[in-house]
Chains A and B, each alone.
Chain A
């Protein structure tokens, strides 16, 4: 079992273009203007953010648009100082589910703007219910990463 056998290597790269459609495109356009848009279900009245074209519960078409608050509460978070595939920046990072005010689902993004070096510092600064606000990059490209992260509201 301990004897080494050959291995062969193969890198498979498959570039992919995902069609965003009108709803996601309009959401991205909002990001370019520094705005976060949601859509409201005519049936269950829930507000979904990021904006989507259909309600996940009722399947109703979501045609009513609303600019939602850029502030909300932390629902849950995870800290890591390890690099994972596809991460937008260098670790350490804090992933978080954030409930933006007036919306009815959790928004997945990053938390930043705090001292990140030490896990204990993070866990004293971020808790369920901590108020956070979107911080934006100066240059906006119509992309989820136009929002740099959410930072605690002091």
Chain B
């Protein structure tokens, strides 16, 4: 086990269609924001971690060089981390490992994406096995539709109940996004609008799917010594868990989804959590699709398998519920892929430091951040707490 590590600040850009800036200028906004929010000098940063979606999305290969100046990385070691949708949480892990190892005391971690400049779903296709499988993937929605059907059929959940629960999540999150100044899609939706929206890949409809967002997120990971030096409110990293799965889609079950279960279990064990629904105050679950969010609730032990729909409909995971999930609106409302997982960690850190503003969960002391990447291939979970 390494040294204690804390997140002592974050900066997010406004997310959306950002054709008003170049890609490095967008990254600069987030990096400038974290230095402004913390008062830390870029000169004191010892190393920089940068990451995006797969390089084919970026238009420029090796973006960590493209962003060198705005990352303030000139003259410093820089690491690139890239694990598709989970890039952001992998970035947070990389920053954590670097400080926990004792090799640095202050590390800048930056995730970014300009989804609207390239073709995200074509990029997703390039993640898929080229000999046998690539022809049969309708981007990310095709993969997740198959997973969602596998899940709902396995547990015998009636189609109308799954639809009703997904609709509730969609309405709640798009509503929650109004309280997050950085969120992309904010919308008051009616059940009819969600239920009758056009099909993307059945059963997934328009308001069940995240948007293409442009945006960036920057965070500073610090040793205990630096937490004391700067006197900033720390969000301590209490647990990390990360688990991958076989490469081929179809080799393993995705309803009782082992890599999601294992990632959460590792993080809980490290943080000493035995009853996550009771002990966690808030969770930022990666939810690019409403259906998948419920699958995570079950894999993360927030409830039993097959039970998530009922509890969603009872409001257990809504803002005023027992375990509020994605009070920021989550990935469903804002998805700059390379930054998304880091946004989850940033939001989880804001919550346990009491700095989440209008979407603050009162008194939150223990939070969960999560992201998933690839063709259902990886899951990463980080637990943050206000106490070391």
Q: Which residues of A contact B (CB under 8 A)?
A: 1, 3-5, 7, 10, 12, 18, 20, 24, 50, 56-57, 75-82, 84-88, 93, 95-97, 105-110, 119, 122-123, 127-128, 144-145
Q: Which of B142, B200, B201, B248 contacts A105 (CB 8 A)?
A: B248
Q: Is A80 a contact partner of B141 (Cβ separation < 8 A)?
A: yes
B125 and A84 contact, CB distance less than 8 A:
yes
B136:A109 contact, CB within 8 angstroms: yes
Residue of A nearest to B117 (CB): A7
Q: State whether B135 touches A88 (Cβ < 8 A).
A: yes
**Most chain B Cβ neighbours within 10 Å, of A20, A79, A85, A87:** A85
Q: Across the interface, do B251 and A93 meet the contact criterion of CB distance under 8 Å?
A: no
Interface positions, chain B 118-171, Cβ under 8 Å from A, are 119, 121-122, 125, 130-139, 141-142, 145-147, 149-150, 153
B19 lies within 8 A of A119 (CB): no
Q: Does B178 contact A (CB under 8 A)?
A: no
A-B contact list, 14 entries, CB within 8 Å: A56-B248, A78-B142, A78-B145, A78-B146, A79-B201, A80-B141, A80-B200, A81-B199, A84-B137, A84-B142, A95-B136, A95-B137, A107-B250, A108-B249
B358 at the interface (CB under 8 A from A): no
**Known contacts A5-B19, A50-B132, A108-B136; A123/B246 CB under 8 A:** no
B251 nearest CB neighbor, chain A only: A105
Q: How far is the CB of A24 from chain B (nearest CB, A)?
A: 5
Q: Which residue of B lies closest to A82 (CB)?
A: B200
Instruction: Tell me, rounded to whole Å, the shortest Cβ–Cβ distance linking A2 to chain B.
Output: 9
Instruction: Decide yes or no whether B65 CB sits under 8 A from chain A.
Output: no
Chain B residues within an 8 Å CB radius of A79: 145, 199, 201-202
Task: Pick the contact of B201: A75, A78, A97 (CB < 8 A).
Answer: A78
Asked if A106 and B250 make an inter-chain contact with CB atoms under 8 angstroms apart, the answer reads yes
CB <8 Å contact, B139 and A85: yes
**Given A1-B20, A77-B149, A122 and B249 contact (CB-CB distance below 8 Å):** no
Please tell me which one of the listed residues A86, A96, A122 contacts residue B135 in the complex, with CB atoms under 8 A apart.
A86
How far apart are the CA atoms of A80 and B150 in the complex, in Å?
Answer: 17
- How many whole Å from A11's CB to the nearest CB in chain B? 11
Please name the residue on chain A nearest to B133 by beta carbon. Answer: A108
- Within 8 Å of chain A (Cβ to Cβ): is B247? yes
Task: Provide the residues of chain B in CB contact with A123, threshold 8 Å.
Answer: 202
Are A128 and B141 interface neighbours, CB within 8 A? no
Given the interface contacts A84-B121, A86-B122, A106-B251, does A128 sit within 8 Å of B153 by beta carbon?
Answer: yes
CB closest residue in chain A, given B125: A86
Q: Which 10 A-B pairs have the closest CB atoms?
A: A106-B250, A78-B145, A85-B122, A79-B202, A84-B138, A76-B150, A80-B201, A76-B146, A128-B153, A76-B149
In the complex, chain B residues whose CB is within 8 Å of the CB of A127? 153
A78: chain B residues at CB < 8 Å are 138, 141-142, 145-146, 149, 201-202
User: Would you call B202 and A80 a contact (CB within 8 A)?
Assistant: yes
Contact B146 A77 (CB under 8 A): yes
A76 proximity list for chain B (CB < 8 A) = 146-147, 149-150, 153
B125–A85 touching, CB < 8 Å: yes
Q: Indicate which residue in B19, B201, B249 contacts A7 across the interface (CB closer than 8 Å).
A: B19
- A12 CA to B247 CA, complexed, in Å: 27
A80 vs chain B, min Cβ distance (A):
4
- Residues of chain A lying within 8 A (CB to CB) of residue B147: 76
The reply on B39 being an interface residue by CB < 8 A is no
